[in-house]
A and B are shown apart, each in its own frame.
Chain A
Amino acid sequence: MPLHRLQQDLQAHLLNGSVEILPHIAQAPPLSPQSRLAIYRNAYVSRLTEALRSSFGKLHQVLGDEVFAAAAAAFIAERPSRTRSIRWFGHHLADFLARTAPYEAQPIVAELARVEWALTEVFDAGDASSLRREDLLQTAPQHWGELTFTFHPSVRTLSLAWNTTAVWQSLDAGLTAPAPQKSAAAVTWLLWRQNLQNHFRSVDAVEATALAWAMDGAPFAQVCEQLRHLLAEEQIPMQAAALVAAWADSGILIMG
């Protein structure tokens, strides 16, 4: 049997239990070829499940062992890994949960997975030196309009419709998670890393708008322009400048 075919058949056994490979496994008591294959198949599923459990610890807590294992098994069956490192295997889990029964009926499940995955990305995103508030003052006031902003590689924003972060925080503090609750309107969350620690917080509509435009590369004047329908004209420059200063304090701005 050519090596390619042998590898395809053994891999198919791991992925879906196919038994094409069985006649090519040597008979060597006391274990049967079936039992020998089962060692690999079981290890395959449990290793990937464990990788998901490690990336989605809060989701595991919310779902419990049994449901989490079932969700993991369904995901593993649908999306065999194509990543080099097992650390990236959970990349599409949130999407999977959002469109797969029975998890889709509870949208907070997929949202919690999105939060946890974003936090894993924040954790080992690229490094960069943050700007300080003083660095911003190097720009003369008359040039602020042209100022653009570069964000730390760890910065992520998420729009969340449920009380997902409250659930995350309760579980993180060892408390019972609150019941799922849909917010009146979706809330934007900002996630980032500062001094090797992950952080996240909600942002209001003004900051969400400013962030979206600034992260898209818009200069300060254009960011201010976008705030016109949210703030009184005279408040805009001061409020926008205060936001930028707070971003610098949080370490989310870097040298452009």
Chain B
Amino acid sequence: MNISGFGLGLRPDHYEAILSGSPAVDWFEAITENYLVPGGKPLHFLQRIRERFDLVLHGVSLSIGSVDPPDLTYLAGVRQLADRFEPAWISDHLCWTGVDGLNAHDLLPLPYTQEALTLVVDHVGRVQDALGRQILLENVSSYLTFTSSQMSEWEFLSEVAQRADCAILLDVNNVYVSSVNHGFDPLQYLRALPAARIRQIHLAGHSNNGDHLIDTHDAPIVTEVWNLYADAVALFGAIPTMIERDDNIPPLAELTAELDIARRISRAGLTKVA
């Protein structure tokens, strides 16, 4: 199964509005962990929404870059969820969330070293085997880099995708946030990516703390990120695109209006390329 068009992150605040209206949303992205529960409201609403909309699953705790081995119990749960809801695909983040059995519940940065590359490639292979499908890995926002890094983030991400044969979820806001925090050219990042592997795009707002940006998903998307999205459309074409909002969640109509901006930018970009 494949999806196209423009989606939104599925949030409980919007369950009723989604089901009682006909929102101009082509698909929803559900946070995997929110539905790895035995029953009740979350699964009830996911079922009803799935009956009307296409779906992708997006995890936050795969911890693909941790030296801890992939958690097969977790993966079995994800596979079961996927068997029930038939998402177009499953994604998570190129990061680690904890080590030695602990979970910091954060998307922590990796050093871009050969050792980390080898480990992540091995883990992606095991995860794809356990899930029985190709996964998408998303670039995260980061606030520090390690002295031991031997390559850039975009080189690391591209190498992981090619060697492990996985796809990429390109978070345009994260590229922008990290470009400001680390002083690189975001366009150079985009140009270096293997275009054929980019399967989905994330857009989101962030908070500006003066000398650094934080990926907070609590505000509308800023002009600079829209501009970078236009660059991404020019480079990669019509990639399924969605908006994530996790805090200060506005009414659904406000997010579908923001999604219309993405539609316009995409249409304009595609016309220009053609």
Contacts and interface: CB of A to CB of B under 8 A. Distances in A.
Nearest to A123: B40
Contact of A43 (B37, B106, B149): B106
A30 B143 CA distance: 12
Interface in A113-141: 122-128
Contact of B103 (A36, A37, A82, A125): A82
A222 B119 CA distance: 59
Interface in A23-53: 23-26, 28, 30-31, 33, 36-37, 39-40, 43-44, 47-48, 51
Interface stretch (A7-15, A66-74, A183-191): A7-15
Chain B binding surface SS class: loop
B106 A14 contact: yes
Interface in B55-72: 61, 66-67, 71
Contacts of A125: 38-40
Contacts of A7: 66-67, 96, 99, 108
Contacts of B183: 28
B66 A84 contact: no
B104 interface: yes
Contact of B104 (A14, A28, A128): A14
B144 A85 contact: no
B104 A127 contact: no
Nearest to A27: B147
B116 interface: yes
A36 B149 CA distance: 16
Nearest to A1: B148
Contacts of B214: 39, 43
Interface in B89-140: 96, 98-106, 108, 110-111, 113, 115-116, 119
Contacts of A83: 103
Interface string B25-43: 0000000011011111111
A48 B106 CA distance: 10
Chain A binding surface SS class: helix
Contact of B105 (A33, A89, A122, A196): A89
A40 B119 contact: no
Interface residues of A, number: 48
28 contacts: A3-B110, A3-B113, A6-B146, A7-B99, A8-B99, A8-B100, A11-B98, A11-B100, A31-B211, A37-B144, A44-B105, A51-B105, A80-B102, A82-B102, A83-B103, A84-B36, A84-B103, A85-B61, A86-B105, A87-B33, A87-B37, A122-B40, A124-B39, A126-B38, A126-B39, A127-B40, A153-B39, A193-B40
Interface of B: 33-34, 36-44, 61, 66-67, 71, 74, 96, 98-106, 108, 110-111, 113, 115-116, 119, 143-149, 181-183, 211-212, 214
Interface of A: 1-4, 6-8, 10-11, 14-15, 23-26, 28, 30-31, 33, 36-37, 39-40, 43-44, 47-48, 51, 80-87, 89, 122-128, 153-154, 193, 196
